[in-house]
């Protein structure tokens, strides 16, 4: 019993289940089939979690190397701006080929943004928080320049599909997020890549002396984080069929960092958990939906979220758990828990 | 709309003639020619099409009025706006104008401007400072009136009907003047009809994406929504996406009222997806420049200047749409 509580993912999972149960009671259709695909609150939650999951995955990799990427929100805005600007100029916005090409271009642009971050961090040696702050601030300006300060509307069916479409009864946005998660899990857990990342995060110097290309790995994680943020930006903008440079990805870096922390990844680098981050992202999105569903007044939204997050962090704290459970269990068991 | 332009042109002409008169009397007494009026303006951000039209109007009319404009974008954050105003004070601009992001927390920085002898004009949104001597004038729409107009249309629409009407409301940014006032004006009017009931009200932060996600949850958690009242067009447009995804017809199954009347909103109104839009005109640039010149010259100005506005039904939108610039 105690060992379940010790698992870092137990508490986020428990709170997620509680929130989902609340939503089951407040929503008319939790999961149902409508128009030949799944529909309902659960599907809305999963679909809307996709951008945060993608950004969170990139953030997890960056944090595992001991870095941080504050620019993800701005990269989302740039990616959305590039895509919508190009799609707007298409003769036929509904032709699949050109739209796919444009999606590819937007992701490549986002990866170049990541390359810039990576180069500042790994080659020039600027602290990650400062290096990515540059693009965080400048990037939103770039996105506004691209859209000329306007909201660009697109009427492209294929583009809208990546956010609101369904494939095999499942939302496309969710499938994209699941595919990205699976790919990253495969690369980090079935190859030595994950181990190398953890070693770079643990001690860059020791890794370098052991013959690990720490610099190349660091650049790579920022490029991947940029690409994933770009993809998230495309889903965000496809969801509203427009590029909104000011609000796209605004403050998502904080939600992404929160998702990573909830998921049990250490902010100082080293050990990381991909599944934990996905769980954290879905939890944050569920929280946002719950606030509306149970009718919390707008003024109290942030307070409610803060209370849940603080409670979660307290549950996760080994020190607090020892104080609470230590009293209830024999001294030896409590001791074992701490050393484990 | 056309009337507004006419008024603007007329205002501009008056301004030019009065300036000419002024220049004639003063010629030679001022040093050089570079004592152009400098106006520091801090904009909320570019969160919507409305806002960008507002920005454009201010920039264009400043150039037309021969006023040097120092423009700063607060990106929706009060702290950015406060630091922008402080930097205007340091740069010793002649007049400061700004659209407050939120209503409260301005006393300290406004006091600094007052101490520096720089008059402040509020545009579009008000502040809740008790001391009204902290600013020279407030030019902008009456948001309470906008909320009332929305409520009046709805009350008329359901006049004499006995079945209850479930209304959901998408509020603007929590704590902002347009959100508070549009909510109040609307609520005051519909209070007169016990059948009209706001069943859910939540912030969508004036953004399309938030409008969509909040509406998705409204649709799931509230049975039989009859009416959506959104504090701006963009949230309404996001909500339309959610309503369509839920297999309902916006404008028919759920009646939609919004505020602003930007081009995208008017298009949806003409297409029958929105039922009624209360206009909130962003084109206050010419009036602002006139006001800035007056306060700089030390003339007394009215504490409250209203922008001229109207409302649109679906039919009116079809005729007005081709003329919409923003």
Considering the domain architecture, whether residues B47 and B196 belong to the same structural domain is answered as no
Residues B260 and B162 in one domain: yes
Question: Would you say residue B227 lies in a domain?
Answer: yes
Taking CA atoms, A58 is separated from A54, A264, B295, in Å, by 7, 15, 53
Q: From chain B, pick out residues whose CB is under 8 angstroms from the CB of A289.
A: 213, 217
**Chain B window 217-256: which residues touch A at a Cβ cutoff of 8 Å?**
217-218, 220-221, 223, 234, 237-238, 241, 245-247
For residues B242 and B182, is the Cβ–Cβ distance under 8 A? Answer: no
Is residue B322 in a domain? no
- Provide φ and ψ at A188, rounded to 5°: -90, -25
Mutate to test the interface with B, among A30, A240, A289 (most CBs of B within 10 A): A240
CATH code, domain with B160? 3.40.50.2300
As given in the structure block, the two tokens for residue A173 are: 């946005």
**B104 touches A: beta carbon within 8 Å:** no
Q: Quick check: is B242 in a domain?
A: yes
Q: Round to whole Å and give the CA distance between B209 and B241.
A: 10
- In tens, the pLDDT along B45-69 reads 877 778 888 999 999 999 999 999 9
Determine whether A230 is exposed, middle or buried from the number of CB atoms within 10 Å of its CB (0-12, 13-18, 19+): buried
The answer to whether residue B148 sits within a structural domain is yes
Cβ–Cβ below 8 Å for B174 and A236? no
Please report the pLDDT score of residue A112 as a whole number. Answer: 98
Is the Cα torsion angle A287, A62, A242, B2 positive or negative in sign?
positive
Answer yes or no: do B270 and B169 share one domain.
yes
pLDDT of residue A334: 45
pLDDT above 70 covers a percentage of chain B that reads 89
Name which of A35, A151, A293 is nearest B247 (Cβ-Cβ).
A35
> Do both B168 and B260 map to the same domain?
yes
**Who has greater pLDDT, B26 or B3?**
B3
One domain for residues B137 and B189: no
Residue B4 lies in a domain: no
Q: How far is B177 from chain A (nearest CA, A)?
A: 14
Is the residue at B19 inside a domain? no
Question: Do B157 and B226 have their domain in common?
Answer: yes
Furthest CA-CA distance within chain A: 74
Spatial separation of the C-alpha atoms in residues A301 and B131, rounded to whole Å: 31
Contact B220 A293 (CB under 8 A): yes
3-state secondary structure of A61: helix
User: Minimal Cα distance from B74: which residue of A?
Assistant: A246
- The total domain count for chain B is 2
What does the pLDDT look like over B221-274, one tens digit per residue?
988 999 999 999 999 999 999 999 999 999 999 999 999 998 899 999 999 999
In terms of domains, do B228 and B290 share one? no
Residues of B with CB below 8 A from A27's CB? 220-221
Structure tokens at A302: 């942030």
The verdict on B250 and B155 lying in the same domain is yes
- Contacting B with CB below 8 Å, chain A residues are 26-29, 34-35, 39-41, 44, 48, 140, 144, 149-151, 153, 164, 236, 239-242, 244-248, 250, 288-289, 291-295, 297-299, 301
Q: Which two tokens stand for residue B63?
A: 């150039």
Same domain, B149 and B103: no
- Do residue B300 and residue B252 come from a single domain? no
Structure tokens at B156: 């008329």
In a domain, B27, yes or no: no
Q: Do B103 and B129 belong together in one domain?
A: yes
* Cα B67 from Cα B93, distance rounded (Å): 11
The boundaries of the domain holding residue B300 are 33-141+282-308
Alpha carbon A132 to chain centroid distance? 16
Which pair of structure tokens corresponds to residue B171? 């509020």
- pLDDT on residue B260: 93
**B121 falls within a domain:** yes
Nearest-angstrom CA–CA distance, B69 and B73 = 13
pLDDT tens-digit profile, chain A (340 residues): 556 767 888 999 999 999 999 999 998 889 988 888 899 999 999 999 999 999 999 999 999 999 999 999 999 999 999 999 999 999 999 999 999 999 999 999 999 999 999 999 999 999 999 999 999 999 999 998 999 878 899 999 999 999 999 999 999 999 999 999 999 999 999 999 999 999 999 988 899 899 999 999 999 999 999 999 999 999 999 999 999 888 899 899 999 999 999 999 989 988 999 999 999 999 999 999 999 999 899 899 889 999 999 998 888 888 887 887 776 655 544 444 444 3
Same domain membership, residue B52 and residue B165: no
Q: Where does residue A36 fall: left (phi above 0), alpha (psi -120 to 50 degrees), or beta otherwise?
A: left
Contact A62, A227 (CB under 8 A): no
Which of A26, A140, A164 minimises the CB distance to B245? Answer: A164
């Amino acid at each position: 019993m105690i060992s379940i509580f010790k698992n870092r993912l137990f508490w986020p999972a428990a709170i997620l289940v509680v929130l989902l149960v609340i939503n089951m009671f407040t929503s008319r259709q939790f999961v149902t089939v409508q128009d030949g695909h799944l529909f309902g609150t659960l599907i809305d939650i999963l679909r809307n979690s996709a951008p945060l999951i993608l950004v969170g995955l990139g953030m997890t990799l960056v944090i595992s190397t001991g870095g941080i990427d504050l620019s993800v929100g701005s990269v989302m805005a740039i990616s959305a701006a590039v895509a919508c600007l190009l799609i707007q100029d298409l003769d036929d916005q509904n032709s699949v080929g050109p739209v796919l090409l444009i999606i590819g271009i937007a992701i490549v642009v986002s990866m170049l943004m990541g390359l810039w971050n990576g180069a500042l961090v790994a080659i020039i040696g600027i602290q990650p928080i400062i290096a990515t702050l540059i693009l965080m601030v400048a990037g939103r300006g770039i996105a506004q320049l691209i859209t000329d300060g306007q909201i660009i509307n697109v009427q492209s069916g294929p583009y809208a599909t990546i956010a609101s479409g369904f494939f095999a009864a499942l939302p496309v946005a969710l499938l994209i997020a699941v595919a990205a998660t699976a790919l990253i899990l495969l690369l980090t857990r079935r190859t030595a890549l994950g181990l190398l990342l953890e070693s770079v995060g643990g001690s860059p110097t020791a890794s370098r002396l052991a013959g690990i290309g720490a610099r190349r790995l660091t650049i790579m994680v920022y490029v991947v984080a940029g690409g994933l943020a770009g993809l998230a930006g495309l889903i965000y903008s496809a969801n509203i069929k427009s590029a909104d440079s000011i609000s796209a990805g605004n403050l998502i870096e904080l939600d992404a960092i929160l998702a990573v922390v909830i998921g049990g990844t250490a902010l100082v680098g080293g050990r990381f958990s991909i599944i934990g981050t996905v769980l954290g992202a879905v939890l944050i999105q569920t929280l946002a939906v719950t606030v509306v569903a149970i009718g919390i007044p707008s003024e109290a939204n942030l307070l409610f979220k803060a209370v849940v997050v603080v409670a979660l962090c307290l549950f996760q704290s080994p020190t607090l758990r020892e104080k609470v459970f230590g009293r209830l269990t024999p001294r030896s068991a409590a001791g074992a828990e701490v050393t484990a | 709309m056309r009337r507004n332009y006419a008024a603007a042109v007329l205002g501009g002409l008056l301004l030019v003639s009065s300036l000419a008169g002024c220049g004639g009397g003063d010629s030679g007494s001022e040093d050089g020619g570079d004592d152009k009026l400098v106006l520091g303006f801090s904009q909320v951000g570019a969160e919507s099409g409305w806002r960008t039209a507002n920005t454009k109007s201010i920039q264009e009319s400043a150039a037309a009025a021969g006023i040097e404009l120092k423009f700063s974008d607060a990106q929706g954050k009060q702290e950015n706006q406060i630091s922008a105003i402080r930097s205007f004070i340091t740069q010793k601009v002649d007049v400061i104008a700004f659209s407050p992001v939120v209503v409260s927390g301005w006393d300290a920085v406004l006091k600094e401007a007052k101490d520096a002898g720089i008059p402040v004009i509020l545009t579009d949104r008000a502040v809740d400072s008790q001391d009204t001597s902290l600013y020279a004038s407030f030019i902008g729409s009456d948001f309470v009136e906008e909320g009332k107009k929305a409520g009046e249309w709805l009350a008329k629409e359901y006049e004499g009907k006995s079945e209850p009407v479930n209304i959901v409301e998408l509020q603007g940014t929590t704590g902002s003047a347009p959100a508070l006032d549009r909510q109040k004006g609307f609520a005051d009017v519909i209070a007169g009809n016990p059948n009209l009931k706001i069943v859910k009200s939540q912030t969508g932060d004036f953004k399309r994406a938030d409008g969509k996600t909040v509406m998705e949850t409204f649709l799931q958690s509230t049975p039989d929504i009859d009416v959506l009242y959104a504090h701006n067009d963009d949230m309404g447009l996001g909500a339309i996406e959610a309503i369509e995804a839920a297999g309902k017809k916006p404008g028919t199954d759920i009646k939609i009222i919004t505020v602003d009347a930007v081009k995208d909103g008017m298009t949806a109104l003409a297409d029958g997806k929105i039922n009624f839009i209360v206009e909130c005109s962003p084109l206050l640039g010419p009036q602002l420049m006139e006001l800035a010149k007056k306060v700089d010259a030390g003339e007394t100005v009215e504490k409250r200047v209203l922008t001229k506005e109207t409302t649109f039904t679906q039919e009116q939108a079809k005729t007005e749409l081709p003329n919409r610039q923003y």
